[in-house]
Each structure stands twice: as structure tokens, then as C-alpha cells.
Amino acid sequence: MRLTAKLLLPLLMAAFICGCSGTDSGTLTLAIGGAPDEIAYWERLISRFELDNDIEVNILRQPTDTDQRRQGLLIALKSGQADPDVFLMDVAWLAQFAASNWLEALDSMLESGSVSEAAFFERILNRADRYRNQLVAFPVYVDGGVLYYRTDLLAAHGFKSPPETWAELVETSRAIQEKERKNNPYFYGYLWQGAQYEGLVCNFLEVAASGGGGIIEKENRILVASPENIRAAKLMKDFIHKYEISPPSTYTEMKEEETRLFFQRGQALFERNWPYAWLLHQQEESAVKGVVGIATLPHFEGGRSVSTLGGWHIGLSRFSDRKDDARTLIKFILSYETQKALALNLGWTPGRRDVYRDSLVLASLPHLADLAEAFENALPRPNFPYYTQISEILQRHLNAILSGESEAERALGAAEREINEMAGRYRDTP
């Protein structure tokens, strides 16, 4: 008998613990991811909210890695869990989450006037946060690709301003690279993200759209292999292999951080990156502190500059059991004060358009004035619920083009076939 008790006790305890943890409906749960100091700041912000509103908020800490944050939310939402109630989503998953019917419509927040539509970037709200005429999210942190350049090197070699077109970028890069390499053999003209991951698609969409290309759906067919897109993919390959202004490691290891660190060591003239790199380039230990400029990305002759829209958007779970409190929390996070505080303390580029005109914010983050312009024209990624699969296929074929393993026409043609085959499978709802 004693033996039975000894064996069963741990099991009973395990069952007890499992049984207790699942049903915690008392508090509002907010899932926030990021670097440790970012989460620490959010905790301070939220504790102020708790005091002011008498609503208890439980913060669910998520990692920095985008895939892992998505995985964490996916499991909870797929199983219809009440927690987390409120969470941040990468703009690239919005369509999937909305189409899965996991997001509560937030139109009522605009109608009730608790959030003002005019405060936001109109294009972003309409093209990224609206899914089938329902508002499913609000931007908290807006991102878009920008061009960083070395002001000192441009001046030293007699260039007045950063390049407007891709041809100018190539020309400037080659001229300066040739001279700089005499002292610095690993100096490169242009750094961007070419590794096989989502960032590669963002880079490609920018180059493609800057010459009239893009991914569009026409009569139930998704078009990828357009002449404009082929031209863009070829140009990206040429940056590496023909003009040799981008390092060969571009298509193997260049993601945001690799690019930023390379540029920050003073090893490059131009860099395509997201706005977060700005503050880090200005750090004490950065070799390029004080000699970095920021500009909109170049475009093809006759085209216009385009930034891929990135960033984090806030949404409310349809399974939430505290929807009213959740809306109060969302309202707080979207308020002018909170958005301003996030910009000043974490350098987050605000989701609200009006914060970009704040004199205090502009005094400490002068580059926001330039960014606002880039964000006005930011290009959301194609709005399909199965965008992830489209991106997977594109990443593979684009990466093959960059590595020289296949020709642009053939690879994009193959990508288009694969994408439409895949999309057929996700469309045939009975």
C-alpha cells in the first residue's frame, strides 16, 4: 500500500499542476516580444496603465525571434485559448491571422472615437491593417526599408548627394569602392539582405516595385515572372557578381544584423536596412558614428522609391475573455503619449503619423522626419493568407538566382508555377 502511495503521489501532483494552470481567466494577458531591455520598458509602461485603470495585466514575455513569436501565438490561437488577449503581430502574418478568424474586428474603436483614424498613416491602415473591409489591427511600430550612406566618404570622393537611381548607386559604389580598397581590401559598396529568409523577399519587393514590378493577382492567377520583376532579380544578382559591389556572402549570411555590423565596422558605403539600425550606428563603439546619412532607397530610371512595410501591429484575440479591458489597453498603447514614450525610450518608429511632428521627438530622433516620407509610400506585402508559402517559394528561387544556380527568367517562372499550384490548394474551399 505504501508503495502505491509513493508511486501515485507524483502523478497526482503532476495532474494537479496541469489542471490548475490552464484556467486562469482573471487577468488580461499581453504578449510582448523583444530584447530584454525593451520588455523591461514595456513592463514599466504597463504598470502605469494598471495603476491608472485598475486593470491587472499579465505580461507574456516572448523572444526576439519573429518565427518563435509567431509559433507561440499560433499554438494559443489554434487551440482557442483565452490568453493572450492582446498581442503584437508582424505585418507579414496579419492576413493569415485575420483569414483564420482569430482577430476581433476593431472598427468600433474608430467609430467610438477612442482612437482617431486621422492620427495614422492612411495607406498603412487601409492596406495592411484592413482585411476584407474589417479593421483587424493597428500599427504600433512601423518599419520600412531605407538607405544608409556614409556622408564622409561621399564628400571625400566628390559626390554631393546619395544616389537617386540604381544606376547611380552602382556607379558611385564602384568608384568609391575601388579607391577605398587600396587601404581596406574588404570594403564594399552596397550591403543588403540576401540570405534565404523573409528579408530577401522584402528587398526584392522594393527593387521590383521601384521599377513598376510587384506581385499581383489577376483573374485568379498570381503573377511573379513579369519583365519588371526579372529585371529586379537580375540587378540584385549583378550587385554581387557583375558589379561586385555587394559581398559574395550576401546570399548566404546577410540578414539585418550581419548587414548592420558590417556597415558599422566602416566596411561599406551604402546599406539597405530598417530604421532600427540608425540608433545603433550612432552608438559610442560604432566606427561610423556621426558620419551616417539616411535617405529613401534608389529606384529604376522612371520609377519611384519604394520601402517594404514592416513592423509590429497590435491585435485582439477573438477568444479573449476580457475584450473591453483589452480595448482599453490597446487604446492606451496607441495613445500619443505611449507612442511618443516608445519612440523616445526604445527608438521605436511610431505607428502614429502625428508623433513624427512632435518637436521633442524630432529633437532627439531627427531622422524620423525623413522616415515619415518613406512610410507614406510604404508597400505592404501581398495580402494573401498564404503569403508565408508564397514567400517560402520566392525565397528559395530568389536565393538560387543570387547564388548563380539558376537564371532569373527560369527561376521566377518556376516560382510562379509553384506559387499558383500551392495557392490552388488553399483556395478550393467547398
Partner 1 sequence: MRRSAGRDTRAAVLFLGPLFLFLGLFILLPVVGTIATSLYRDISFVDREFILFDNYLRLLGDDSFWRSVRFTLFFIVCSVPLELAIGLGLALFLNQPMPGRWFFRAAILIPWAIPAAISARAWQLIYNFHYGLANYLIVVSGLSESPVNWLGSSLGAFIALVAADAWKTAPFVAIIFLAGLQAIPDELHEQGRIDRASFFQRFRNITFPLLRPVLVVALLFRTIDGLRVFDLIYVLTGGGPAGSTNSLSLLGYRYFLAGDFGHGAAVSVALFVISLVLSIAYARMARFGGISY
Q: Could you say which residues in the range 165-194 bind partner 1, by CB under 8 A?
A: 186
Q: Please state the closest distance from residue 181 (CB atom) to partner 1, in A.
A: 14
Q: Please state the closest distance from residue 362 (CB atom) to partner 1, in A.
A: 37
Burial (0-12, 13-18, 19+ Cβ within 10 Å), 193: buried
Among 27, 252, 328, 377, binds partner 1 (CB under 8 A): 252
Total binding residues for partner 1 by CB under 8 A? 43
Q: Binding string, 54-73, against partner 1, x = CB under 8 A?
A: -------------x--xx--
Our CB check for partner 1 shows the closer of 254 and 361 to be 254
Cα distance between residue 306 and residue 237, in whole Å: 19
Q: Is the peptide bond before 227 cis (omega within 30 degrees of 0)?
A: no
* 335 counts as binding partner 1 under rule CB under 8 A: no
Amino acid at site 60: L
Could you give the 3-state DSSP secondary structure of residue 276? coil
Contacts of 204 (CB under 8 A, 6+ apart): 229, 232, 233, 236, 394, 398
Our CB check for partner 1 shows the closer of 16 and 426 to be 426
Q: Binding string, 266-295, against partner 1, x = CB under 8 A?
A: ------------------------------
Q: Report DSSP state, residue 106.
A: -
Among 80, 227, 248, 366, binds partner 1 (CB under 8 A): 248
Find out whether 314 and 86 touch, Cβ atoms under 8 Å.
yes
Q: Could you say which residues in the range 384-403 bind partner 1, by CB under 8 A?
A: 385-386, 388-389, 392, 395-397, 399-400, 403
How many CB atoms sit inside 10 A of residue 54's CB?
Answer: 8
Cα distance between residue 140 and residue 146, in whole Å: 19
Q: Please state the closest distance from residue 69 (CB atom) to partner 1, in A.
A: 11
Cα distance between residue 138 and residue 122, in whole Å: 11
Q: Which three cell numbers stand for residue 359?
A: 518637436
Find out whether 83 and 318 touch, Cβ atoms under 8 Å.
no
Cα distance between residue 41 and residue 37, in whole Å: 6
Burial track 271-288 (b if 16+ CB lie within 10 A, e otherwise)? bbbbbbbbebbeeeebeb
* 217 counts as binding partner 1 under rule CB under 8 A: no
Q: Please state the closest distance from residue 267 (CB atom) to partner 1, in A.
A: 8
Our CB check for partner 1 shows the closer of 47 and 134 to be 134
Q: Please state the closest distance from residue 6 (CB atom) to partner 1, in A.
A: 10
Q: Footprint of partner 1 on this chain (CB under 8 A)?
A: 3-4, 7, 11, 67, 70-71, 74, 77-78, 96, 99-102, 186, 195-197, 247-249, 251-253, 262, 385-386, 388-389, 392, 395-397, 399-400, 403, 405-406, 425-426, 429-430
